[in-house]
Amino acid sequence: MEDLAILAARYRRFVYPYEYWNKFRIAIYDDLGYLTVQPIDGSDGQDLWPGTQIIYRTNEGRYGRCCVQAYDSATKRLTIEWVTYNDNGTPYSSGQGLSIAPSYTVDLDAGTSPGGAAADAYWNTVDAATRYWRSSHGARFLLVLRAQSPY
């Protein structure tokens, strides 16, 4: 599945900034079926570099957005900022500097890693070159911007 930034470039549509993604806009994309349990490829050549943006619906039913702040290509550790929303659109939880080690889970409702039984995603490191952001327990995701390599 292509990410929205590639599709936007192909069809000359606008790529929305991170702040655009509030609870109500994310819900529309979910209602249209764009948020899925399909894994997001983070393998070599498809790395989730800083600036990469993902919108989501947690396994507890809350909508949110996250942005990669740092990616260590040596250790494969991701660091993200996130906002998970209440039903009324106010933040339920948010923060920066949430570090996700390879093959660990994350709970985007609580903003914790490892995510334990409430995990929404699994940063699945298959081998040195193959990695996926995988859904856990029915959470749904959409990659809305894949940032380019800073190198």
Residue tagged 């920066």 (tokens): 96
CA geometry: angle at 93 spanning 91 and 94, to 5°?
90
Tokens of residue 10, six digits: 């192909």
Amino acid at 16: Y
Strand partners, 122: 105, 134
Output the pLDDT for position 11.
46
CA geometry: angle at 60 spanning 68 and 119, to 5°?
55
- What CA–CA distance (Å, rounded) separates 66 from 27? 15
Would you give per-residue pLDDT tens digits along the chain (151 residues)?
455 555 555 544 557 888 999 999 999 999 999 999 999 999 999 999 999 999 999 999 999 999 999 999 899 999 999 999 999 999 999 999 999 999 999 999 999 999 999 999 999 999 999 999 999 999 999 999 999 887 7
- What CA–CA distance (Å, rounded) separates 149 from 37? 25
